[in-house]
C-alpha cells in the first residue's frame, strides 16, 4: 500500500512539472517584437517651435504623396499612400504622426508607419438556394479580390531617419523664411 501512495504522489508531481516545462518552452519561443526599448526609431526631438515643426511634418507627408486624414486631435496627422510594385500587388503605407512642443525651443515628433501588402487572389463564389434545411449550395465561379498578405509596423531606422531629415529641412526653410520676413518688415519700418 505504501508503494501505491508513492506512485500516486510521483504522478501528481510529474504532471505539473511537465506542464510547467511546456509553458516555459512556449514562453522562450514567444515572439518578443512587442517589447519596449529605449532606442526605438519612432521619435525625434527637433529644434524649432511647435508651429514650424508641426507644419513641416504636414509638408513632409504632403510632399511625398500621402493623403491626409482629418483628425479631431490637434497635433495628430495620419497619412496614407498606395503604390503597385507589381501588377497584382498593392502596398499601402500608413503613417501616424504626433507633434508636441517641449516648451524649450524644441518639439518632439512621434511617427509610426505601417506597411500592408495586398495581392490579387482568386476567391471561390457559391450560390445557395432552398428553404430551411432543404438548402443546396452550388459553386458559382470565382472572383478576383485584393486580400491582405502581410501587415507590419515598419521598424527600419533608415525609413524614420529619412522622414525626420525631410522635416528638419522644412523647419530650416521656415526659419529662413521668417528671418527674411522680419528683415523685410524692419527695412520697411526704417523708411
| 8 A C-beta contact, residue 128 and residue 139 | no
| 8 A C-beta contact, residue 58 and residue 71 | no
Beta strands in the chain (DSSP E): 43-47, 67-69, 76-86, 89-101, 106-129, 136-153
Structure confidence by residue, pLDDT tens digits, 98-132 = 999 999 999 999 999 999 999 988 777 777 777 77
Domain 40-129+136-176, what architecture? 2-Layer Sandwich (3.30)
Q: Which three cell numbers stand for residue 56?
A: 513641416
Q: Where are the domains of the chain?
A: 40-129+136-176
d(CA 88, CA 146): 9
Structure confidence by residue, pLDDT tens digits, 40-57 = 799 999 999 999 999 999
Q: Which three cell numbers stand for residue 108?
A: 518632439
Q: Which residues have CB under 8 Å from 98's CB, separation 6+?
A: 75, 76, 109, 110
**Bridge partners (DSSP) listed for residue 76:** 98
H or E stretch at 49: none
d(CA 127, CA 188): 78
The pLDDT score that the predictor gives to residue 188 is 61
| Terminal-to-terminal C-alpha distance of the chain | 114
The pLDDT score that the predictor gives to residue 23 is 42
What does each C-alpha distance from 100 to 50, 110, 158 come to in angstroms?
Answer: 6, 9, 22
Triad 89, 70, 162: Cα angle to 5°: 55
Percent of the chain whose predicted confidence (pLDDT) is above 70: 73
Task: Output the pTM of the full model.
Answer: 0.66
| 8 A C-beta contact, residue 55 and residue 61 | no
Amino acid at each position: 500500500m505504501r508503494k501505491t501512495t508513492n506512485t500516486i504522489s510521483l504522478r501528481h508531481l510529474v504532471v505539473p512539472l511537465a506542464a510547467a516545462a511546456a509553458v516555459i518552452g512556449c514562453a522562450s519561443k514567444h515572439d518578443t517584437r512587442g517589447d519596449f526599448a529605449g532606442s526605438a526609431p519612432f521619435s525625434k526631438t527637433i529644434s524649432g517651435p511647435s508651429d514650424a515643426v508641426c507644419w513641416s511634418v504636414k509638408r513632409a507627408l504632403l510632399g511625398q504623396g500621402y493623403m491626409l486624414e482629418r483628425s479631431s486631435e490637434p497635433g495628430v496627422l495620419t497619412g496614407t499612400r498606395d503604390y503597385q510594385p507589381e501588377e497584382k500587388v498593392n502596398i499601402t503605407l500608413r503613417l501616424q504622426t504626433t507633434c508636441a512642443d517641449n516648451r524649450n525651443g524644441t518639439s518632439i515628433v512621434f511617427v509610426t508607419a505601417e506597411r500592408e501588402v495586398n495581392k490579387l487572389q482568386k476567391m471561390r463564389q457559391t450560390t445557395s438556394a432552398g428553404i430551411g434545411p432543404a438548402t443546396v449550395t452550388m459553386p458559382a465561379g470565382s472572383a478576383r479580390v485584393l486580400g491582405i498578405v502581410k501587415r507590419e509596423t515598419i521598424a527600419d531606422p533608415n525609413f524614420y531617419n529619412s522622414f525626420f531629415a525631410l522635416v528638419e529641412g522644412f523647419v530650416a526653410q521656415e526659419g529662413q523664411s521668417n528671418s527674411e520676413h522680419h528683415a523685410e518688415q524692419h527695412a520697411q519700418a526704417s523708411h
